[in-house]
Amino acid sequence: MKIGLNATCFNDRPSGAKQRFIGIYGELIKRMSDAEFVIYEPSDCSISPWFEHAENVTYIKTPIPSEGRIRKYISGMRYWRSALANENIDIFEQFNFPIVKSPTGKTLLTVHDLRWVDLDSWNILRTVHSRIIKRSIKAADHIVTVSEAMKDVIRQFFSGVPVSVIYNGLNAESFNTFAKEEVLAVSSRYKLPERFILAVGHLEPRKNYLRLVEAISILRDEGHHLHLVIIGNDSGERNKIEEKIGAENLVGLIKIISGLTNAEVRCIYEECSLVVFPSVYEGFGIPILEAMAAERPIILSNIPVFREITRDKYIYFSSDRVDEMVLTIKKVLLSDSEKSRLVEYGRQRVKEFDFKSISTKVEELYSSVLSDE
C-alpha cells in the first residue's frame, strides 16, 4: 500500500492539528511497516525530523508555503496535478482546505471543525471559505473528523458524505515529568502568581475569553481576588481582550502569555489551581486532554463536544452566562472533594486517548476505504 500525506499545512508553530499529526501518524508509520508513506512537505518547514527513525517514509519538498491562503492555493494549482500523476498512491490524505483530489486512489480529508460554515456571522471572507469547504467535503471519498459532535454537524450540512470519527490523542506520559526546579523556573520566568486559574487556547472570539474576563471581575468584586493566566497566540482578539482587562481594572489579576514551548505549557499546567474552558465552539478540545494528563480540575462550557470528551462527568456552565461561570468556578475551588473527583476521573479518562490505540483506527479506516472500491 502506498499512502500520501499532504503535510503542507504544518510548520514549526504549535497547534492541535500538528500534535495530532505527529502523534497518530508517528505510530501509524511504525504499525504499517510494510506500507510506503510519501509525506509532502511545505516549502518553509522540514517534516522529516518529526519521524526521523522511520525507514518507510519518503519526503518530498513542495513549493507550497505552510501559511498564506492565496499563496498556498496558487502554488498548489501549479504543483499537485503533475506531482500526483505518476505516484500511483492508494490513499491520499490531507489535513486542510481546499481539497487536492488524487488521480489514482482514494482521497481522505480530515475536518477539525466547520466554524466557517457553522457559526452565525457573515462576511465576504467567511462566504469564500464556506464555499471552498463545501466543495472540498463533497469531493472527498471519505471524511475523517475528530468527534461525534463534529460528525453530527457535518451530517447536518452534508447528509450523504461518508464520515468516520477518529479522536485526537495525547502522550499523557509527557506530563508531570518535570523536576520541581524546572517548574519553578518557568513560574519565575513568566512572573506567575502563586495561585491562579488557567485557560489555554488561541486568542479568538470562539474561545469566549471576554466573558471569562467578566467572570474574574465579578469574583474580584465579591472579594475573591483570583488570578487568571491565559496561554495562547493572537488569532485576532488579543487587543479586545487587553482592552477589556484594562476597562475592568484587572491588569494585576490577568496575564496573557504567548509563544511558549510545549514544555513550558506543561509546567504551567502543573502550577495552576483550576483549568477553565469557556469556548462557544470547538471541534474537539485537546487542552482538555492536557489538563486531564496534568491532573488538574477542569470546568467547561456546556457544548456537546466537551460533554462527549468528558462523558458528562464534569461540571458545566452555559457559554453565554457569566453568572453560571462564576458560580461554577467557586463551586470547584471551594470544594476539595469536588477537585479530587474531577482529577481522578480525568486521570483515568485520558488513558483512552493514547496515540497507539488511535492509530489502529486509522489503519482500519484505510483498509475499509480501499475495500469499498
Segment 65-105, tens digit of pLDDT: 999 878 888 888 889 988 998 889 999 999 998 899 999 99
Integer Cα distance of 97 and 133 in angstroms: 6
Task: Name the one residue in this structure whose C-alpha cell is 474561545.
Answer: 207
Average pLDDT over residues 209-220: 98
Can you give the pLDDT at residue 124?
65
Cα three-residue angle 163-169-172, rounded to 5 degrees: 165
Average pLDDT over residues 258-277: 95
CATH number of this structure's domain 172-352:
3.40.50.2000
For residue 347, pLDDT beyond 90: yes
Q: Where in the chain is the domain with CATH 3.40.50.2000?
A: 2-169+354-371, 172-352
pLDDT band at 123 (very low <50, low <70, confident <90, very high): low
For residue 212, pLDDT beyond 80: yes
Integer Cα distance of 114 and 107 in angstroms: 19
Tell me if residue 313 falls in helix, strand or coil.
coil
Cα three-residue angle 275-25-80, rounded to 5 degrees: 115
pLDDT band at 121 (very low <50, low <70, confident <90, very high): low
Selected residue with higher pLDDT from 14 and 326: 326
Instruction: Give the residue among 215, 175, 225, 221 at the shortest CA–CA distance from 299.
Output: 215
Look over the chain and give the mean of its residue pLDDT values, rounded to a whole number.
93
Cα three-residue angle 280-315-190, rounded to 5 degrees: 70
pLDDT band at 316 (very low <50, low <70, confident <90, very high): very high
For residue 133, pLDDT beyond 90: no
Can you give the pLDDT at residue 289?
97
CATH number of this structure's domain 2-169+354-371:
3.40.50.2000
Can you give the pLDDT at residue 69?
78
Integer Cα distance of 303 and 146 in angstroms: 15
* Contact present, 48 and 41 (Cβ < 8 Å): yes
Tell me if residue 298 falls in helix, strand or coil.
strand
pLDDT digits (tens, 9 = 90+) for 288-311: 999 999 999 999 999 999 999 999
131 φ/ψ angles, rounded to the nearest 5 degrees:
-65, -40
* Contact present, 197 and 226 (Cβ < 8 Å): yes
How far is C-alpha 209 from the geometric centre of its chain's CA atoms?
17
- What angle do helix axes 16-31 and 286-293 make, rounded to 10 degrees? 80
pLDDT band at 22 (very low <50, low <70, confident <90, very high): very high
Can you give the pLDDT at residue 73?
82
DSSP run (H or E) holding 247? helix 238-247
Instruction: Give the residue among 170, 157, 83 at the shortest CA–CA distance from 347.
Output: 170
Q: Output the pTM of the full model.
A: 0.92
* Contact present, 290 and 270 (Cβ < 8 Å): no
pLDDT digits (tens, 9 = 90+) for 135-182: 899 999 999 999 999 999 999 888 888 999 999 999 999 998 899 999
- What percent of the chain stands above pLDDT 70? 97
For residue 122, pLDDT beyond 70: no
Q: How many CB atoms lie within 10 A of CB 177?
A: 11
Bridge partners of 111, per DSSP, are 145
List Cβ neighbours of 247 (8 Å cut-off, separation of 6 or more).
none
Can you give the pLDDT at residue 263?
93
Can you give the pLDDT at residue 258?
95
Can you give the pLDDT at residue 70?
80
